[in-house]
Amino acid sequence: MTTEPVTRRARRQTPKRTRASRLIRAILALLIVGLLGVWYVLETDATADRVRRLIEVRASAALGAQVVIDRLELDAVPFHLEAHDVRIGAPRPTLAAGPGTEPAAGDDTLAGIDRVVLDLSPWGLLRNGFTVLNLELHGPRLDLELPLPSRNG
């Protein structure tokens, strides 16, 4: 019987260590594939359309007026959002306005914005909230019908 001293390399290649390293590699590979899958799903047009509809419904409920977003672009990695041609309509009639009150015919857009750029902090999203890093409004317009003052007072 020969007894040779066990070298460091031989000690590292024990079956338990080999299995553990393979398991760690497999878990890392699955984690990377999962993150890429989530990123792919967030970058699709269907996700942008779902987010656009969600924003429209919640903003309409909060403002009491119809909010329409023509096109929404999402960049999931830097948490960047661009909304194009945002329109806010006339307030919906309420029961306090009286029975038989109907919205005006024709275009009832009160306000509009050509482009809204919004950057969110990912750390705020992890805390179950959001922090706005940047908000830009390009081409805002307000359409109000105001009576003109008369010359006689």
The per-residue pLDDT for range 28-39, each reduced to its tens digit, is 999 988 888 777
What is the value of pTM for the model shown? 0.60
What is the reported pLDDT for 14?
65
Smallest Cα–Cα separation from 33: which of 45, 22, 25, 23? 25
The per-residue pLDDT for range 80-108, each reduced to its tens digit, is 889 999 999 876 555 444 444 444 444 67
Strands 132-142 and 109-120: antiparallel
Q: Give the up-direction half-sphere exposure of residue 121: CA atoms within 13 A in the CB hemisphere.
A: 10
Q: pLDDT at residue 138 above 90? A: yes
Amino acid, res. 103 = P
